[in-house]
Amino acid sequence: MMLDRLYQTVKPALFRQDPETVHDRVMAALDLLSRDPDKLDRIAAEPDPRLTVSLFGLDIPHPLGIAAGLDKNGVAFPALLALGFGHVEIGTVTPRPQEGNPKPRVFRLVEDRALINRMGFPGRGVSEVVAQAAPRKQSKMVVGCNIGPNKASVESGTATEDLVTGYRAMASMATWVTVNVSSPNTANLRSLQHKTALREMLTALNEERRSLVWRPLLVKISPDLEPAQLDDLIDVAIECQVDGLIATNTTISRPASLKSHLRDQTGGLSGPPVAALAVATVRRIAERTNGALPIIAAGGIETGADVVAAIEAGASLCQTYTGFIYRGLAMARLVGAEIIAELDRRGVSSIANLRS
């Protein structure tokens, strides 16, 4: 596969540079590509119907999508979709622009195929993001919009207002809206996962959904919740008509298996070392809800086997961030081929039949 050979050739040079600098350059290239419909048509492959997944009344052409944080400003999603990903979640977008934490704030733990980041939601603010992203979104593109509060709003206790602002600005372009209450890099953000705060926030968002435009609403959760906290969160999500959970964000834990000397950097750890926590979270949600609440799995998903395992644990869709950094531009196609091989091995005709 040409894209794969290209990425494997340039990867050593990319990995010698600062991770965020490389990220910004790759996003700039994908931004350019996203503005060129002819080129997009040329790289887009015919999706394999055996990979189609149904969710929220849509047929989504590939079970693997891009997790929030990669295309924070919503400039690269047309190119990422053309590369074969089934969906892209843009954001996290905050109402007002903000800088995020001081650099460096992303670290590659190469020996662990992992990353640690403490970005802290840098971004252009929701008006600018929507102005750029909305005109590029064609109706068939599956684009989740991930919203979060500004740091100052969490500090002043007005996070809910920020989330309502985010929903209002993004809902009309969004296939679904995800509330990010699980980033470890904004102090106190994760306390919004607690029962009372979560119920208050979801009630405010439901009022906004009712009066504006009703989009599926998802909550993205941490892999670090205690079992009792997770159970409370699931119950509140059901009570407040949440349409799905994204499990999970990065972890602040540091598994003993980590080999990289960067393991003690502050921030959220992602990639294979978070996979066990993430899959356990998916499984617990599926069990507690008897499979009634859609789950999007994220956390260490790198291969077709990982996608199949997440779906068997109860997920409807999967997302990747760190895997994309290590596997590269051909990842969606490689994973698609791996899933098909796994289905063939098991004698299952399509991914939709995996759990039936």
Annotated catalytic residues are 183
Choose the binding region for ligand FMN from 32-40, 111-119, 207-215, 309-317 (rule: CB under 6 A). 111-119
Out of 186, 222, 250, 281, point to the residue binding ligand FMN (CB under 6 A).
250
**Residue 356 beta carbon to ligand FMN: minimum distance, rounded to whole angstroms:** 27
**Residue 349 beta carbon to ligand FMN: minimum distance, rounded to whole angstroms:** 28
Cis link prior to 104 (omega < 30° from 0)? yes
Choose the binding region for ligand FMN from 25-33, 68-76, 211-219, 343-351 (rule: CB under 6 A). 68-76
98 or 350, CB closer to ligand FMN?
A: 98
Residues ≥6 apart with Cβ < 8 Å to 148? 91, 92, 93, 94, 121, 162, 163, 166, 179, 180, 181, 183, 186, 189
Q: Which residue has the tokens 């149904």?
A: 54
Choose the binding region for ligand FMN from 10-18, 187-195, 267-275, 288-296 (rule: CB under 6 A). 267-275
265 or 270, CB closer to ligand FMN?
A: 270
How many Å separate Cα 221 from the centre of its chain? 11
Does the protein bind ligand FMN through residue 335 (CB under 6 A)? no
Q: Could you say which residues in the range 210-239 bind ligand FMN, by CB under 6 A?
A: 220
Out of 30, 60, 67, 75, point to the residue binding ligand FMN (CB under 6 A).
67
23 or 39, CB closer to ligand FMN?
A: 23
Out of 34, 73, 92, 150, point to the residue binding ligand FMN (CB under 6 A).
92
62 or 72, CB closer to ligand FMN?
A: 72
Encode the chain in three state secondary structure.
CHHHHHHHHHHHHHHCCCHHHHHHHHHHHHHHHHCCHHHHHHHCCCCCHHHCEEECCEEECCCEEECCCCCCCCCCHHHHHHCCCCCEEEEEECCCCECCCCCCCEEEEHHHCEEEECCCCCECCHHHHHHHHHHHCCCCCCEEEEECCCHHHHHCCCHHHHHHHHHHHHHHHCCEEEEECCCCCCCCHHHHHCHHHHHHHHHHHHHHHHHCCCCCEEEEECCCCCHHHHHHHHHHHHHCCCCEEEECCCECCCCCCCCCCCCCCCCEEECHHHHHHHHHHHHHHHHHCCCCCCEEEECCCCCHHHHHHHHHHCCCEEEECHHHHHHCCCHHHHHHHHHHHHHHHHCCCCHHHCCC
**Residue 266 beta carbon to ligand FMN: minimum distance, rounded to whole angstroms:** 14
Q: Are 170 and 176 in contact (CB under 8 A)?
A: no
2 or 95, CB closer to ligand FMN?
A: 95
Number of residues that bind ligand FMN (CB under 6 A): 27
61 or 273, CB closer to ligand FMN?
A: 273
Choose the binding region for ligand FMN from 133-141, 230-238, 296-304, 336-344 (rule: CB under 6 A). 296-304
Q: Could you say which residues in the range 134-153 bind ligand FMN, by CB under 6 A?
A: 146
Out of 34, 270, 303, 316, point to the residue binding ligand FMN (CB under 6 A).
270
250 or 303, CB closer to ligand FMN?
A: 250
Choose the binding region for ligand FMN from 67-75, 165-173, 229-237, 329-337 (rule: CB under 6 A). 67-75
Task: Note the residues at the interface with ligand FMN (CB under 6 A).
Answer: 67-69, 72, 92, 106, 115, 117, 119, 121, 146, 180, 183, 220, 249-250, 270-271, 274, 298-301, 320-323
